[in-house]
Chain A
Amino acid sequence: LRLICTTTTVQKKNVGASGPEKYTEAFIKKQIEEFNLGKRHLANMMGEDPETFTQEDIDRAIAYLFPSGLFDKQARPMMKHPTEVFPEQRKIQWGEDGRPFHFLFYTGKQSYYSLMHETYERFLNVQKHQDQLIAKDLPLQKEKRNLAGSRWLTKIELEEMLLEKLSDDDYLRFIQLLQKLVALPCADIEENYIQKFSKEVPVQLQKVVIEPLQYDERGVAFSTGEGKRKTARATAVVYDNGTGKITVNGTDILHYFPVLQDREQLLFPFQFLGRIGKHDMVCTVSGGGRSAQAGAIRLASAKALRSFVTEKEVEFMRQAGLLTVDPRVKERKKPGQEGSRRKFTWKKR
C-alpha cells in the first residue's frame, strides 16, 4: 500500500547523521570548484551569460541536453551544487592531540545534550524575567503565540540539524521541554530561538475555486468542466433551462453510447443532484475506450455542475466521489512476467 497522505519530510532518510566523514573537506572543495567551472562551461554552451547563470537555468539546460523519460525525477541527470548533493557531514570532533573539542563529547550525543542544556538555560532565563516582572508588578502576558499554524520539527529534521542520530525518547523530551518553554507567559523574549524549531503548516489546503456561471448570447447560464479517466480527456459545457438533451462529439448519446452502462454513468451526476431534465449538455471527448470516455464525461459534467449548486451539495458530491479523478491507470508490464501481474507458466523442469 502506498501512503499518499504523508509528506516527503517524513519519508526521507537522514543520511547526514548516519556516520562520520566519508568525504574529506578537500574533496568537497574540489567538487565545488569543478561545479563552478562546469557551470560556466554550460553557460557558454547555451549561449548565456556565465555571470548570471542561476540554478534554474542549469536545470533547464540539463533537461534540454540530456532528455530522459524516466519517471523518477531523482533518477534523471542533474547538476547541483555539491552541498546539496553531498549531505552535510560531521567534521572530526577532536584535535591532533586526540582531545575532543566539545566538553560533552564523551556523552555520545554531544549536540543533543548541548541543545538540551541551552534550551533549559533559556527556560530558566524566562522564569527569572517573569519573577522580575512579578516583583515590579507589571503585566506578564503580552500576546498569545499562535500555535495552530505551526508545528515542531520532526525527528528527522532535528537529526539533520544536529547531524547525529536521536532516539524517540530523546526527541520527545526535547519537544516537551520546548512546549514547557512556550507555555510560560513571558516566552516572547526567546521567540527567535523558538522559531528555529517550529515550522509553518500550510493551513489552507488547496482550496478549489468554483468558477461563477457564465452567460452566453441568449442569456442562458452555462459552465464548463474538464475530466479525465485512464487516457480519455473530456470537456463538458452544461447549459441551464434545458430539456435533458445531451450531445457528445456532435452525436446524440443514444448513438454514441449504445451500452446502457455508459449512459448510466452520464446520468449519475444529474440524478444525484436531482436535476435530470433541467440541464442540456454539449461535450467533446477523445482518447481512451468506451468506459473511459463515459467516466471522463461524468467527471467533467460533475465539475461543471458545481457552479450551479450550493456549497453543501458540492461537499456531498465530493463525498460521493463524483469530483475525484480516478487514479487507476493501466499497470506497467514488468520484465520476467507475462503481464503486469501474471507470471509465466511455472515449469517444474
Chain B
Amino acid sequence: QLDHGCALHTAARDGLGSVSTQDVPAERPRAVFHTSESDPAKHSEQHEGRLYNIPLEEVKAVFPHGLPYRFQQQIQTFNEARVMVRRPALELLTYLKGSNLAQPAVRYVIYGERGTGKTMTLCHVVHYCSRQGWLVLHIPDAHLWVKNCKELLQSSYNKDRLDQPLQASVWLKNFKTSNERFLQEIKTQRKYMWGKRESTEEGRPLGEVVEQGLARVRSASDAVGVVLRELKQQSHRGSLRLLVAVDGVNALWGRSTLRKEDKSPVSPGELTLVHNLRKMVRNDWSGGAIVTTLSQTGSLFKPSSAHTPHELLGKEGFDALDPFVPIPVANYSPREFESCYGYYLERKWLQHEKAHTEDGKAELQFLSGSNPRQLDRLAGPL
C-alpha cells in the first residue's frame, strides 16, 4: 500500500509542481500533503491545502476545550494533531499580523455552511495567537451557556441576573490551563468582594481570582466577570495583547431554552456570563482582536438553512456586532480535497480496497460534495 501511496504522491507531486523550500526533499511521501512548518506565523499561500502538525503537549496546553469532538477523536486515533491550512485562516492571519493594536479591536466573524471548517479555522487562529504570546480568551461554544443548564442561581451582584455556576467553573478551569503564565503576571486593579467575608485585594495576581471562582462555585460567574473586566482594562492600557475567540457567537443574542422557576423564559441578557461576554465583544477597547464564529448546529430556534450573519445573529446581534469583517468559509477546493484524501490514505484510515482507486476518490468527492464534515463521516466506516 505504501508503494501505491508513493506512486500516487509522486504523480501528484509532478502534477502540482510547486514544492515549498522549507520541505525536506527526503521526506518524499509526506511532502505533498504536509508541511513541516508548525508555526502558524510562517504559514502563507504556499502552504495552502497542506496539513501542519501541532505537538501534542501544545494541544493540551493551548486547546483544553476548543477543538471539535470528532477532531479530538481523530487526534487520539492518529496520535497526532494535523490541521489543514486553508485560505480563510490565512486571510485572518494576515489581518491580524497587519492590525494596529492601538486602534479599537476589530471584530471578525467567520461564517459558512454546516461542516465547512469554521471552528477549525478559529482554532488555527488561536494557535497562532498563543504562539505569538497573546492572551487567548477562548470560549469553545457559547451555545453551551444558553441551553441544558441544570442550576440557575440568582446573582448576588445584581438581582435581575442569573448565575450559572457549573458552566462558569468549567470554563475557569480550562482558562487556567491555557493561560497559566499570564495569571501570575496580571494584577487586579481594585478590590472585589465575594459575598460578606471573602475579598480580593488590589494588586493580587489574577490567578487568585480564578482560584476563588473555582473554590467557591457559587461566585464562579462573578469571578468570570471580574476576569473579563480586568483583561479588558489591561489590554486597553496596552500592557498585554488579548484575543477574544468565541465560537457560536449567535447564541449571545438569540433565545435560550432555559426557564426560571416560574417557567418564564430567560433571555440571554439575563445571564451573567452572557452579559459579561457581550461587553467583551463590544469594540470599545483596544489592544487586541475579536474573532468569532457563527454556528447553526448548536443554535436554538433557527432553521437549518440559515448561514449568513444576518439570519443567525438576528437584528439585535447584527447591530451589536455591526462593524465587523466577514470571513466566509467554503467547502474543500479540489486541491484541499486531494490533500485530505491523501492524508487519510497515508494514515491507513481508508481500509476499503476500492477507496484507494481513482474511481473511489471520485466517488468520495461526489458523495461528500467536498464538504469536510461529510467527508469525515464518510471515511469513517471505510
Binding site for B on A (CB under 8 A): 244, 252-255, 260, 263-264, 267, 270-271, 274, 276-277
Contacts and interface: CB of A to CB of B under 8 A. Distances in A.
Interface string B363-382: 10111010100100010000
A134 to B, nearest CB: 71
A255 B366 CA distance: 13
A271 B365 CA distance: 12
Nearest to A252: B369
Interface of B: 305, 359, 362-363, 365-367, 369, 371, 374, 378
A264 B369 contact: no
Among all A-B residue pairs, the 9 with the closest Cβ atoms: A254-B369, A276-B362, A277-B362, A263-B367, A267-B366, A276-B366, A244-B366, A254-B371, A271-B363
Contacts of B378: 260
A267 B368 CA distance: 11
12 contacts: A244-B362, A244-B365, A254-B369, A254-B371, A254-B374, A255-B305, A260-B367, A263-B366, A263-B367, A274-B359, A276-B365, A277-B365
The secondary-structure label for the interface of chain B is: helix
Q: Report which residue of A244, A255, A274, A276 has the largest number of chain B beta carbons within 10 angstroms of its beta carbon.
A: A276
A276 B374 contact: no
Q: Report which residue of B359, B363, B367, B371 has the largest number of chain A beta carbons within 10 angstroms of its beta carbon.
A: B367
The secondary-structure label for the interface of chain A is: helix
Contacts, number: 30
Contacts of A277: 362, 365-366
Contact of B366 (A252, A270, A274): A270
A168 B254 CA distance: 84
A266 to B, nearest CB: 8
A254 B359 CA distance: 20
A271 B366 CA distance: 10
Contacts of A263: 366-367, 369
A264 B363 CA distance: 9
Contacts of A264: 367
Contact of B363 (A252, A254, A276): A276
A276 B305 contact: no
A44 B371 CA distance: 70
Contacts of B374: 254
B362 to A, nearest CB: 4
A181 B365 CA distance: 68
A283 to B, nearest CB: 15
B329 to A, nearest CB: 15
A277 B369 CA distance: 11
Contacts of B305: 255
Nearest to B378: A260
